[in-house]
Amino acid sequence: MIDWKKYLIVFLITLGIFGAAFLLSNYFNDRKVQKLEDIYQRIATNVLSTETKFSLLRFASCEDIVSDTTFENELTRELGDMARRVKYMESQLGVNNEDVLLVKTQYSLLQIKDYLLVRELAARCKEKVSVILYFHDLDCEDCSRQSLVLDEISELYPKVRVYWLDRSLETPAMQTISRVFSIKETPAIVIEGKTYTGFKTVAELEEILLKEKLIKKTEPSSEVKEVKKK
């Protein structure tokens, strides 16, 4: 009386649909990880350019070094973009996903390297560099708000480079740089070697940047327009 075959067939079909959904999901997630790797490659190229510039200093003087600001501003954007995407992927695939963790580790190391090179370069050529080190963490309450603020800062001031450092990565380099700037809690921001702990608004950060003469006292909106013209 009971059609057991039907119950089984329906079970297999349902299983098939489930399987297909998981396969489809895997396919898209792989493409997303691929996208992360693409951005990583672009960041790597950019950092390589900084490195080359540094090496060139052995033969050339500071004045002779030609900078490509558009290219460098590109890096700022890529870093912000990368941080956003990594965060999203962590929310989707879990924080322990190996692919995402690998990309995150790699690009964090690159950021530290770039930061050191840029500072050296600036010190040798006696220039000011507009860089912000931003330490965040996976489970810190104010970090998502702080990330939004830093997104806005890099949007308003493309010349100010933000390095997004995830302190939950336990690489030796991350631990060292945390110790150097005595970072004990997140969110923390390092500007011109000074550490600011706790949440900072856009206005507060602008004030600090102004004080350190890293941005000019013009209306931010005009700068944005300039960028758009380019």
Partner 1 sequence: MEFGEIIFYIIVFLALYVQVFLFITFITKRRELFHSEKKLPKSYPSIGMIVPCWNEERSVERTILSLLCLNYPKDRLHIYVVDDGSTDGTWAAMKKFENFSQVYIFRKENGGKHTALNFALEKIETDLVSSIDADTILECDALLTVVNFLEEKREVSAVGCTVLIGNPKTPTEKAQSIEYQMFAFSKKMLGLISGVLVAPGAFSVFKREALKSVGGWVAGHSLEDLELTFRLQKNGFKVNHCHGAIAHTKAPNSIKKLFTQRLRWGYGFLKNIHDYRGMILNKKMGNLGLFTIPMSIIAYITLVFVFIYSWQRMAFLAYDKIVALKLIGWDSLIAGGIRLDWFFINTQAISFISILLFFSILVSIFLGRKISGSKGGWYNVIWYFLIYSFTQPIWIMKSIYKYLFAKKVLWR
- The binding site for partner 1 (CB under 8 A) comprises 1-3, 6-7, 9-11, 13-14, 17-18, 21-22, 24-25, 28-29, 32, 35, 84-85, 88, 92, 144-145, 148-149, 151-152, 155, 201-202
Nearer to partner 1, 142 or 192 (CB): 142
Nearer to partner 1, 14 or 176 (CB): 14
In the complex, least distance from residue 141 CB atom to partner 1, rounded to whole angstroms: 11
In the complex, least distance from residue 26 CB atom to partner 1, rounded to whole angstroms: 8
φ, ψ for residue 182 (rounded to 5)? Answer: 40, 60
- Pseudo-torsion of CA 11, 14, 19, 20, nearest 10°? 150
In the complex, least distance from residue 25 CB atom to partner 1, rounded to whole angstroms: 4
In the complex, least distance from residue 127 CB atom to partner 1, rounded to whole angstroms: 30
Nearer to partner 1, 63 or 98 (CB): 98
Nearer to partner 1, 11 or 184 (CB): 11
In the complex, least distance from residue 205 CB atom to partner 1, rounded to whole angstroms: 11
- Residue 144 CA to residue 138 CA, distance in Å, equals 9
E strands present in the chain: 131-136, 161-166, 188-191, 194-197
- In angstroms, how far is CA 74 from the centroid of its own chain? 12
Q: Minimal CA–CA distance to 104: which of 92, 124, 87? A: 87
Contact yes or no for 215/209 (Cβ under 8 A) = yes
